[in-house]
Amino acid sequence: MRQLLAGFLFATLWASAAVATKIGIQAADPLILANVRFLLAGGLMLCFVYVLRKSRGYALPKGVEWRHLLIFALLNTTIYLGCFVLAMREVSAGIGSLSTATTPLFIMLISAIWLKRTLRWYEITGVILGLAGVALATYPLLQGSHATIRGLAILLSGMVSVSVATVYYSHVKWQLPNLVINGWQVLLGGLLLLPFTLAGARFSSTHFTLPFWGAVWWLVIPVSIAALQLWFYLVRLDAVKASFWLFLCPIFGFVYSSLLLDEPITLYTFAGTGLVIGGLYLAQREKFRRKRA
């Protein structure tokens, strides 16, 4: 029951990120929203680790760990989430949630390239179904000004970056706890993004209003901190079962975007989401079969 509750809560919180971002960028430049979120989230997590839980004696990164953290932060936070928040200016929140759910497909592709492994037929088919599902769900939104080709290209760039980051993370022999890694990579990602924000953000169009701060704190506490810790908890219990909860994220994402932002849900949405979920399952079917065995 505890695992079921944790998984359901993770999916509901993680799927809300796109809607919160969409609300936040109505009041502020996307880069400013992203930078405030990263610096606050990273600072709070590190304060918790090194101040509130000082008795545990968490160590500071040292030597080569800083290089690993910088690379991971650049790929996982600066580029991925930077692209995500920029894309939300031109792509619906529902599509943002749907694209996030396809991450395992990109990870599988990049991992195969990294390890020089030939993809199996069901993995290739799963990727094709997933990409076709996103295209199908997006098609009517392109006609109705809820998505642009440029926005989708920015979103795709972010998905590739976070997938490379995940594969890189899995090949590093980390000595640091997950909480420490997450805190530092979010803070460092914000610091790496800061020069681009100072150089390119439109400060004149940014208003630090209640919607802005509401979006920031939602992205910091429930998403960046609570949802990620739930995800780590689920993965520790059972990595295969944990991946099933990603299937719910696009469903919650479209519900949120419809109720809170009045974005359209059509038959294309249902068909596209079904293809994505089917593609995710097919591409990972060997893992699920091994688990059952």
By C-alpha distance, which of 93, 108, 103, 102 is closest to 133? 102
By C-alpha distance, which of 158, 200, 197 is closest to 74? 158
By C-alpha distance, which of 209, 250, 162 is closest to 25? 209
R_g of the chain computed on alpha carbons: 19
By C-alpha distance, which of 268, 266, 274, 228 is closest to 250? 274
pTM of the model: 0.85
Quote the pLDDT of residue 243.
67
| Separation between Cα atoms, residue 156 and residue 162, nearest integer Å | 10
Quote the pLDDT of residue 13.
93
Low-confidence ranges of the chain (pLDDT < 50): none
Quote the pLDDT of residue 87.
93
> In this structure, are residues 113 and 288 in contact, taking their beta carbons and an 8 Å threshold?
no
How do the residues of the chain divide into helix, strand and coil, expressed in percent and rounded to 5? 80, 0, 15
Question: What b/e readout covers 148-160, taking b as 16+ CB neighbours within 10 angstroms?
Answer: eeebbebbbbbbb
Token pair of 54 as six digits: 């000082």
> In this structure, are residues 192 and 37 in contact, taking their beta carbons and an 8 Å threshold?
no
Quote the pLDDT of residue 131.
83
Quote the pLDDT of residue 179.
83
